[in-house]
Homo-oligomer: A and B are copies of this chain.
Amino acid sequence: MKVNEKMAAGEVKITPRDEDYSQWYLDVIFGADLAEYGPTKGSMIIKPSGYALWEKIQNFLDKSFKDMSVQNVYFPMLIPERLLKKEENHVEGFSPEVAVVTYAGGEKLEEALIVRPTSETIMYETFSRWIQSHRDLPLLINQWVNVVRWELRPRLFLRTTEFLWQEGHTAHSNHEEADLFARKILDLYATFAKDIMAIPVILGIKTENEKFAGASKTYCVEAMMQDGKALQFATSHNLGQNFAKAFNIQFTNENNQGSFVWQTSWGLSTRTIGGLIMVHSDDKGLVLPPNIAPIKIVIIPIWNSEESKNLVLKHALGLHDELISEYGNTVVIIDDRDMRSGQKHYQWEKKGIPVRIEIGPRDISGGTVVAVRRDTSKKIVLPALELSRSLRELFTDIQNSLYSKALALRDLKTVDVENWNDFLENIEAGNFIQAYWDGSSETEKKIKEETKATIRCIPFTLEKVPEGKCIYSGNPTAIKVIFARSY
């Protein structure tokens, strides 16, 4: 793809993380031209570079869902209020944050319509008609849609009044199958985080306080941002029979006996893009792992005279053609603008392009190119011959090394804590804390009040621990959890 002015980043200067982390986050987004705030408070406009990330996410997940026999559907966005109210915990959880349509077609509506914050209620009323017999199970569906949740403290990608997500919903004939399915999806989310976004994650179960409104169990994928705060990356809920009972979703089994179905729901949203930004980016701007980067390579021809210009451009264009035949036209950019190279580098670094290829007269005579990694700024001299193969290896190396770096930071910033003073100190230091918890909601709430730390999850890896004492109450317990402040 030939460069044009609109691709190159604007004049945004990136505030260093040390100076102001929140401003740095916004600067990275503006510098890479991913998104901006919309005209109403908390709304977001996702720009082409940001939406291209969402398309990469969609492509990977949608294919994976289809491989699991999940089918896409579309349910109406406007939910009659009476439906939202059918599952008691669910309505309690979502009521404070819904947007409500009261007028339509020039008239006041008889019944208010809720803009979906999630679609359990509108889908499950329908499920009660779709599901009659064990032959109708399992029912496995998904939709890619917008949802609205009114956020008081908006932040681009992480919390916006409207966001994009996929929501999967399944119904099964027994508890084991449903639970297994919820776990299978959780594993898929973790694979996606690791293999595509190079984000190390922790898998576990949410506490009663933190679980999804209406769920029996919420499984979650948690990630650590660079500042040590947690981000809930995705969740997968075992809904038990809660909604099945509220919406009367019954089936008859092989022996003609009636039973309520067992359900799951699971979602991953545009907020993962916020996580992606905060895990990898640096003071120069966005850093993208190659597997999620819509543009992977920018070629910068460098000339020092009018004579060398033609030669260099010719070689650079040849390289460009070779690489787009391998990677596709939109994946490789050639920036042949008449502009200082330093300024070009500065612009493309802000966009997070994983590899920059520099080619000048000396490279041409030597049969080489210089590849510069966005993640480490290291320069590597590569033979121009079979460049796309060398680049594939380089991409793998960058992907792995971004993952390892994030994992190393998380390990460094995860501490096992046994007394309350250490707890307070480590929370202030922005660490993940592994500690015993007595299992009571009261303790959990008090810790949150006093420290703003929440229980991120009970990690699967800590499911079997010897008995210890609760970090707060001192009560004996065999539950060990992860505490952290979170986005």
Residues of A whose CB lies within 8 Å of any CB of B are 5-6, 36, 38-40, 43-48, 51-52, 54-55, 66, 71-80, 83, 95-106, 112-113, 115, 122, 125-126, 135-136, 139, 141, 145-146, 148, 150, 152, 161-162, 164, 330
Q: Contact: A72 with B51, CB < 8 Å? A: yes
Instruction: Check A101/B104 contact, CB under 8 A, given A39-B80, A80-B39, A162-B78.
Output: no
A47's partner among B6, B73, B76, B79 (CB-CB below 8 A) is: B73
CA distance A48 to B74 in the complex (A): 8
A101 proximity list for chain B (CB < 8 A): 99-102, 115
Determine chain A's interface SS by DSSP, over half rule: mixed
Q: Contact: B5 with A136, CB < 8 Å? A: yes
When C-beta atoms are compared, the residue in chain B nearest to A71 turns out to be B48
CA distance A47 to B40 in the complex (A): 33
A38 proximity list for chain B (CB < 8 A): 75-76, 122, 126
A100 proximity list for chain B (CB < 8 A): 101-104
CA distance A98 to B77 in the complex (A): 14
CA distance A144 to B139 in the complex (A): 26
When C-beta atoms are compared, the residue in chain B nearest to A70 turns out to be B48
Instruction: Check A125/B39 contact, CB under 8 A, given A102-B100, A102-B103.
Output: yes
CA distance A66 to B150 in the complex (A): 33
A97 proximity list for chain B (CB < 8 A): 105-106
Q: Contact: A148 with B45, CB < 8 Å? A: no
Q: Contact: A74 with B136, CB < 8 Å? A: no
A146 proximity list for chain B (CB < 8 A): 74, 77, 145-146
A135 proximity list for chain B (CB < 8 A): 5-6
Q: Contact: A6 with B162, CB < 8 Å? A: no
Q: Contact: B106 with A99, CB < 8 Å? A: no
- Least distance between A298 CB and chain B CB atoms (Å): 17
When C-beta atoms are compared, the residue in chain B nearest to A143 turns out to be B51
- Least distance between A73 CB and chain B CB atoms (Å): 5
Q: Contact: A76 with B45, CB < 8 Å? A: yes
- Least distance between A94 CB and chain B CB atoms (Å): 11
A161 proximity list for chain B (CB < 8 A): 76, 78, 104
Q: Contact: A150 with B104, CB < 8 Å? A: yes
CA distance A141 to B105 in the complex (A): 29
Q: Contact: B152 with A105, CB < 8 Å? A: yes
Q: Contact: A48 with B76, CB < 8 Å? A: no
CA distance A98 to B100 in the complex (A): 14
17 A-B residue pairs with CB within 8 Å:
A5-B136, A38-B75, A39-B76, A43-B78, A44-B76, A45-B76, A46-B75, A52-B71, A76-B161, A76-B162, A78-B99, A78-B148, A78-B162, A96-B106, A100-B103, A105-B152, A115-B115
A76 proximity list for chain B (CB < 8 A): 38-40, 43-45, 161-162
A54 proximity list for chain B (CB < 8 A): 74
